[in-house]
Amino acid sequence: METLFVTGGAGFIGANFVLDWIRETGGRVVTLDQLTYAGNRHNLDDVADDPRHVFIHGDIRDRALVDATFARYRPDAVVHFAAESHVDRSIHGPAAFIETNVVGTFTLLEAARAYWMGCGASERARFRFLHVSTDEVYGSLGAHEPPFTERSPYAPNSPYAASKAASDHWVRAYHHTYGLPTVTTNCSNNFGPYQFPEKLIPLVICNGLKGEALPVYGDGQNVRDWLYVGDHCEALRVVLERGRVGETYNIGGDCERSNLAVVHTVCALLDELRPHAAIGDRRALVRFVSDRPGHDRRYAIDAGKIRAELGWRPRETFEGAMKKTVAWYLAHEDWVAGVISGEYRDWVERHYQRERAGL
Ligand code: NAD
Ligand code: TYD
């Protein structure tokens, strides 16, 4: 039975991945997560009593803990999700992004290298270090430029993107220098269940449900390439199984939408699934607020390599997956209430007050 060492498995994509992996493959997972504001133990409730899952509360920068995890569970692969992941927070407080995304990835690489060097020949040959990264490392596209390929130059623009780009380079160097069997994926914007409500789609669902303002940065015409999280998780399983060592794979939904179009889609679904006479048409709740500093205009992914080499393509349509996602949030209002801590309320207050003041 295969054993995965998953970092950040209590966050949005990590939790979806762990739940899907155990359900789809029957394999074993050891999750290491620090449970920051973005991590939630309850995201993994469905496997809480499953003997195939172990949860460890801890920090990827804790070398002794990471070493002990490798030694005790002897994983076949690492799947590295743990990160600070919100661009707006990286603008307010970039230091945490260096700590987790760069120092944390370095610590994990060092521990993985030591473990891998000590493995027998067959374990060494099987081992993989899968680094989960983002399309934001490639910077911003003009309206008519072709989508990012794996050969696009790195041009990160936000502190978040810079920290992920740095971690990608460290992973690359560990393969090139030490032969560590790494694979890196660069994925576009995800949406789906368990996404923390600071990100655009769950924020709009949660605010729209209550009839509160829907903050749209700038002119709302920034474009993102959206992918349902379950499709991302399937792509990661395929890369783990058949991806070539030392390679990078772009993952995307071939689904470019302006932010305003995304917000309008969510509004229409809320009006359909949870109509409210006093709120009326939720599109009227949109408020254009001051733009994010350095806001990337457009991301788009060319997923031709993973499609041709590994046969992966998304299963879900944007509209179908968005309907499932809105329905999930409507059925899990208690989950939303549970993850909204005092810290998160303070963040919303600070961030959107600043936006409102146009600072
Ligand atoms: P998230 O913020 O929802 O979850 C991050 C998880 O990491 C949380 O559970 C948090 O507690 C944990 N964590 C943070 N610091 C840690 C530390 N020092 N030690 C251990 N655990 C720690 O993030 P997400 O949206 O699920 O993203 C997961 C990964 O996928 C990230 O690396 C991100 O860069 C990448 N990614 C995300 C998207 C997206 O659209 N969300 C797209 C492409 C790539
Ligand atoms: P986000 O979900 O933060 O993802 P990322 O910045 O990593 O792409 O934001 C998606 C897009 O939505 C991005 O262009 C910024 C925009 N946005 C808003 O317009 N309003 C908001 O309140 C938030 C959080 C994001």
Distances (CA, A) of 157 to 5, 7, 150, 219, 246: 30, 25, 18, 19, 25
DSSP symbols for 16-78 = HHHHHHHHHH--EEEEEE---TT--GGGGGGGTT-TTEEEEE--TT-HHHHHHHHHHH--SEE
Q: What is the predicted pLDDT for the residue at 146?
A: 98
Residue 344: predicted pLDDT: 84
Which domains are seen in the chain, by residue range? 3-195+226-256+297-318 (3.40.50.720)
Whose atoms come closest to the Cα of 187: which ligand?
1
Atom of ligand 1 nearest to the CA of 14: 26
**54 DSSP β-pair partners:** 30
At 355, the pLDDT band (50, 70, 90 cuts) reads low
Strands (DSSP E) along the chain, which ranges? 3-7, 28-33, 53-57, 77-80, 128-134, 182-187, 189-191, 214-217, 223-228, 248-251, 256-258, 286-289
Q: What is the mean pLDDT of residues 265-291?
A: 98
Average pLDDT, the chain: 96
Place of tokens 């060592």: 245
Quote the pLDDT of residue 343: 83
Ligand 1 atom nearest the C-alpha of 227 is 40
Q: Taking residues 170-191, what's their average pLDDT?
A: 98
Residue 265 has what pLDDT? 98
Residue 171 CB neighbour total at 10 angstroms: 26
Instruction: Give me the residue label for tokens 């603008």.
Output: 91
Higher pLDDT, 343 or 189: 189
Q: Report whether 124 contacts 115 (CB < 8 A).
A: no
d(CA 85, CA 350): 18
Which pLDDT tens digit goes with each residue over 311-325? 999 999 999 999 999
357 pLDDT band, cuts 50/70/90, is: low
The pLDDT > 90 percentage for the chain reads: 93
Which of 16, 31, 81, 232 is the pocket-test mutation for ligand 1 (most atoms within 8 Å of CB)?
A: 81
Ligand 2 atom nearest the C-alpha of 355 is 22
Position 254 pLDDT exceeds 50: yes
The predicted model scores a pTM of 0.97
Is 107 touching ligand 1 by the criterion CB < 6 Å? no
Query: What pLDDT is stored for residue 341 in this prediction?
Result: 79
List pLDDT tens digits, range 102-159.
Answer: 999 999 999 999 999 999 999 999 999 999 999 999 999 999 999 999 999 999 999 9
Catalytic site positions = 135-136, 160
Nearest CA to ligand 1 atom 15: 83
**Ligand 2: residues whose CB is within 6 Å?**
87, 189, 199-200, 203, 215-217, 222, 224, 259, 292
Whether the CA torsion 321, 327, 330, 332 is positive or negative: it is negative
Are 322 and 265 within 8 A, CB to CB?
Answer: yes
CA of 134 to the centre of ligand 2 (A): 14
Q: Is the pLDDT of residue 359 over 60?
A: no
